[in-house]
Structure 1
Amino acid sequence: MKLKSLSLIAGAIALTLTAIPFTVKAQTSSSSPLIVAQTPKKQRGAWQGLELTDAQKAQMQSIRRDTRAKIEAILTPEQKAKLAAAKQARQAQRQAGQGQRQANRGQRKGWVELNLTEAQKTQMRQIRESSKQQMQAILTPEQQAKLKQFQENMRQRRQQSR
């Protein structure tokens, strides 16, 4: 009799421990769409540790938007269609649960399949370099130093992984 009650208690504890993560996930994922829409995108990579002010974030967003528009202006209608199709494929991969890393590979593949001319590649490099300079000009000297350190660390990691 004692063995039965001990096994029931152990079973109840095991069930509780396995159910807790599911209930927490259900509670956090059931937040209202309005709250989700209002929360800003999380900064990634080097930008995360720079502690940007709201004004700096707004300026960065404006530069990114402007850069994207300039690059899209360079593309032919066929290239824009290919890029849009690649973007939809990446979104489908993400929704299907395939990892971020695989979606990023798809992003690079999408650009390769555009068959850009050398003139387009040159223009895009110039646009990216210009936006990079504009973004760095927004940063304080301390933030620039942090960014430089982060980039150096990433370079070292890439070399070690090869």
Structure 2
Amino acid sequence: MNIKRFSLFAGIAAITLTTFPMAVNAEGMPPFFSKLNITDQQKEQFEDIRNNTEAKIEDILTPEQKRRFQTIKTLRRQLREAREGMNLSEEQRDQMREIHKSAREDMRGILTEEQRQQIRQEMRSRRGKGGFGR
């Protein structure tokens, strides 16, 4: 993979990763969950699943990978806390989402259809098959 393609892919990944944490509230739930009237029991069940998932992931990692995994979790938490500390209004959060969305669309516009397909396949392989609600 040449440097330009790698840089572009890294840029898209960075925007995706920085947008995703914004889509989670202080309890670690996506914003649309607040519209679902999730009960405390359901929140606990989600937390249990999240904890079990992390434990299973750590079970398959090497010691070095575990250290990196912990670092990533810490950085995401710090990023979320820093973002929360900005006290953004709902309007500002919506504007930031739109700015990130526009940047992603602009980057996608630079790519050929073949390159976009490669990224979609890479994202699918990283996420695995299925997913929530499927």
| TM-score of Structure 1 vs Structure 2, range by shorter chain | 0.3 to 0.5
Give TM-score, length-normalised by structure 1: 0.37
TM-score by length of 2: 0.43
Look at both structures and tell me which one has the larger radius of gyration over its CA atoms: 1
